[in-house]
């Protein structure tokens, strides 16, 4: 399953508008924020159509799982579903299990979870964590309009221009590249994204700049940002691009006529059954489009990528704030 799917869910009192574009989407928010209302409306429409009093307009097949059905497991309910967006209400504890994570990533379906707790077993993007926002009622509308608002951003929030320490999740090619890019700073590897929070806590160095691959960092981003906020004296900044490979592709180090179209709209190309996260997709694209002379490897970085003119291409791609620190 791939692509972008739009939804409009309406009653006489409220309209929800949103789109789903990756295999894992999280809806967060406090009680009474509209999460349960949305799923109940969609569920009732599936059962009773317009007689439910609700209307769901979408270009997708969808299914809503609110609670356990006596005598049937979640797996029995989900296995017949193909190329379907499955909405799962919170308080279904199976979504935190390794068994479910393996099933979800291999199923070829998209999943939307209403969950205030992070799903540590699943690699989901910081860009697919939303809360429902109620907009002011417009003069020509009887209903209140609600939509999804992204909670986290991928650009760095830097309080100063110092980077005494750069922490990256990568330990191979990414680490080699960032060591060259941030040559004026100490660069260390966290040895994986799940260990970033531990490194942040262990380090006593101030002016720390943390780089994580945002495409699979969704379950960890809240803890890291919360720690940074609680330890303002450490002056911790975070940058969460899609992935290291995405940076190299977007900076124009590799040239291909198809590349810009893919990077501008990845959801139309990423088949979720093959790629559990966009990070893996971008890695394959870089390997595919890199010439034999500068063939990309995730384990050992070709020297071509850290030549001065290529480092400069990456610097130009980075945000204005980040450029000032290089």
Q: Domain ranges in the chain? A: 5-150, 165-323
Exposure string (b/e) for 17-39, b if CB count within 10 Å is 16 or more? ebebbbbbbbbbbeeebbbebbb
Cα(249)–Cα(268) distance, integer angstroms? 17
**Does pLDDT of 159 surpass 60?**
no
Strands 85-88 and 14-20: unpaired
pTM of the model: 0.92
* pLDDT of 156 higher than 80: no
**pLDDT at residue 215, rounded to an integer:** 95
The predicted-structure confidence for 142-152, as pLDDT tens digits, reads as follows: 788 999 999 98
pLDDT at 294 over 70: yes
pLDDT in the model for residue 291: 85
Question: What's the first-to-final CA gap in the chain, in angstroms?
Answer: 40
User: How does residue 135 score in pLDDT terms, banded at 50, 70 and 90?
Assistant: confident
pLDDT of residue 234: 87
For residue 16, the model assigns a pLDDT of: 95
> Over the stretch 203-252, which tens digit does the pLDDT of each residue have?
888 889 999 999 999 999 999 999 999 998 888 988 899 999 999 999 99
Residue with tokens 């002011």: 136
| Domain 5-150 class, CATH top level | alpha beta
Q: Span 109-114, mean pLDDT?
A: 97
Higher pLDDT, 26 or 233: 26
Largest CA distance in the chain: 66
**Strand 5-10 and strand 55-58: pairing?**
antiparallel
| Residues 110, 81 contacting (CB under 8 angstroms) | no
* Range of lowest pLDDT (27-31, 61-65, 210-214): 27-31
């Amino acid at each position: 399953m791939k692509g972008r799917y739009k939804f409009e869910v309406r009653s006489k009192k409220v309209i929800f508008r949103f789109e789903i574009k990756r295999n894992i989407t999280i809806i967060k928010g406090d009680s009474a924020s509209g999460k349960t209302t949305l799923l109940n409306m969609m569920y009732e429409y599936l059962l009773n159509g317009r007689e439910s009093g609700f209307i769901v307009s979408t270009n997708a097949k969808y299914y809503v799982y609110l609670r356990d059905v006596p005598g049937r497991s979640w797996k029995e309910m989900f296995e017949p579903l193909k190329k379907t967006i499955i909405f799962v209400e919170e308080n279904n504890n199976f979504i935190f299990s390794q068994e479910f994570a393996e099933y979800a990533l291999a199923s070829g379906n998209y999943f939307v979870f209403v969950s205030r707790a992070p799903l540590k077993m699943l690699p989901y993007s910081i860009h697919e964590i939303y809360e429902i926002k109620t907009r002011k009622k417009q003069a020509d509308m009887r209903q209140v309009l609600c939509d999804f608002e992204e909670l986290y951003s991928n650009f760095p929030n830097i309080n100063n221009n110092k980077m005494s320490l750069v922490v990256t999740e990568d330990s191979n090619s990414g680490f080699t590249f960032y060591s060259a890019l941030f040559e004026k700073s100490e660069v260390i590897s966290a040895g994986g994204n799940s260990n970033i929070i531990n490194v942040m806590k262990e380090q006593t160095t101030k002016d720390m700049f943390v780089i994580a691959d945002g495409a699979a960092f969704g379950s960890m981003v809240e803890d890291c940002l919360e720690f940074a906020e609680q330890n303002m004296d450490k002056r911790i900044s975070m940058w969460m691009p899609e992935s290291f490979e995405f940076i190299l592709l977007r900076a124009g180090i590799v040239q291909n006529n198809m590349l810009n179209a893919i990077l501008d709209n990845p959801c139309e190309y990423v088949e979720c059954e093959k790629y559990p996260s966009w990070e893996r997709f971008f890695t394959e694209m870089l390997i595919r489009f890199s010439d034999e002379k500068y063939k990309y490897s995730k384990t050992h970085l070709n020297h071509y990528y850290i030549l001065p003119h290529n480092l400069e291409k990456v610097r130009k791609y980075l945000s204005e704030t980040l450029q000032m620190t290089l």
